[in-house]
Amino acid sequence: MIESVLLVGGSGFIGSHVARRLAARGLRVTVATRRRERAKHLILLPTVDVVEIDLDDDAALARLCAGQDALVNLVGVLRGGNGEPYGPGFAGAHVALPDRLARAAWAAGIPQLAHLSALKAAADAPSGYLRSKAAGENAVRKAFPNATIFRPSVVFGDGDSFLTMFSRLLKYLPIMPLASPDARFQPVWVGNVADAIVEALLRPEADGKTFELCGPRQYTLRELVKLTARVTGRRRAVLGLSPLFSWLQAYLLEVVGGPMTRDNLRSMSVPNVCAEGRTLPFNLAAAALEDVAPRYLRNR
């Protein structure tokens, strides 16, 4: 039975939900963050401690790992720069850091490690994001063979940046120009992702396994935007862009620091869906987007 969990990247969207679930079970949670301010919404939870740390400092990392029963790595970036096989930001956050965390956890004798990867991560994937996620999985497996790895499709829920971003854009744009409108996703609710992580920490049979995480239904990107428009009452025409204009939009947004890059576009060329009939492990019931989205999108 575990009593203490170290969440690295725990201040973010998925990490915050994991922290709340662990705290609700009375487990001691340490949220490691680069800036304490980022995790201030978690400080009031009764068993949660927020610790600011320089993750490049091996001695500090070793001190943080000491006495923990589990480490969950939730660090991830969507903008990692360009390069082969992946840009420097992806190399640091998705490969070098997971490698160091897995080694530090192993050296400290932490019995459990859970690592967040991404659906369709592969060495020959079309984007640096997905290639770096595959390299990160390999590094984690090598340093910590019984780690549990999760590969979610796009995650939705309170605090997401995906549907919430569409909701905000729909508020201001009279027409929604949409890159890669036919890209396919099988969105999974953040509550299901957090439950899967917590369950894996509690179940020995999860050790060494890799789990894909998906919701109950597949959608095209166009369907997801239309659903967001319906839920928020912001009905707009959606203008699906051709591959050339999708690339141009991604390029321009990449240059101005907007919500998309050419690498994101390349990720979307692979259907982000699970194998037929597979959604969640541990008999968890996959929540439907249509049931959850109205509850958090309405006022966004």
Ligand X SMILES: NC(=O)c1ccc[n+]([C@@H]2O[C@H](COP(=O)([O-])OP(=O)(O)OC[C@H]3O[C@@H](n4cnc5c(N)ncnc54)[C@H](OP(=O)(O)O)[C@@H]3O)[C@@H](O)[C@H]2O)c1
Residue type, 89: G
- DSSP for 174-222 reads SEEEESSTT-EE--EEHHHHHHHHHHHHH-GGGTT-EEEE--S--EEHH
Does 38 interact with ligand X (rule: CB under 6 A)?
Answer: yes
Residue 105 neighbours by CB distance under 10 Å: 26
* Cβ contact 221:296 at 8 Å: no
- Interface region with ligand X, contact rule CB under 6 A, candidates 20-28, 40-48, 75-83, 223-231: 75-83
Does 13 interact with ligand X (rule: CB under 6 A)?
Answer: yes
Chain positions 46 to 65 lying near ligand X, rule: CB under 6 A, are: 55
According to CB under 6 A, which one of 5, 6, 7, 12 is a site residue for ligand X? 12
Question: Nearest distance from residue 158's CB to ligand X, in Å?
Answer: 12
Question: Nearest distance from residue 122's CB to ligand X, in Å?
Answer: 14
Does 297 interact with ligand X (rule: CB under 6 A)?
Answer: no
Chain positions 150 to 179 lying near ligand X, rule: CB under 6 A, are: 152, 154-155, 162
SS3 of the chain: helix, strand, coil, percent, to 5: 45, 15, 40
Cα 143 from Cα 139, distance rounded (Å): 6
Cα 145 from Cα 137, distance rounded (Å): 10
Does 116 interact with ligand X (rule: CB under 6 A)?
Answer: yes
According to CB under 6 A, which one of 93, 113, 221, 231 is a site residue for ligand X? 93
Nearer to ligand X, 85 or 248 (CB): 85
Cα 275 from Cα 254, distance rounded (Å): 31
Question: Nearest distance from residue 175's CB to ligand X, in Å?
Answer: 26
Cα 111 from Cα 143, distance rounded (Å): 13
Cα 54 from Cα 121, distance rounded (Å): 27
- Interface region with ligand X, contact rule CB under 6 A, candidates 35-43, 198-206, 214-222, 289-297: 35-43
Kindly list the residues in this chain that would bind ligand X in the complex (CB under 6 A): 9, 11-15, 33-35, 38-39, 55, 74-77, 92-93, 97, 116, 118, 152, 154-155, 162
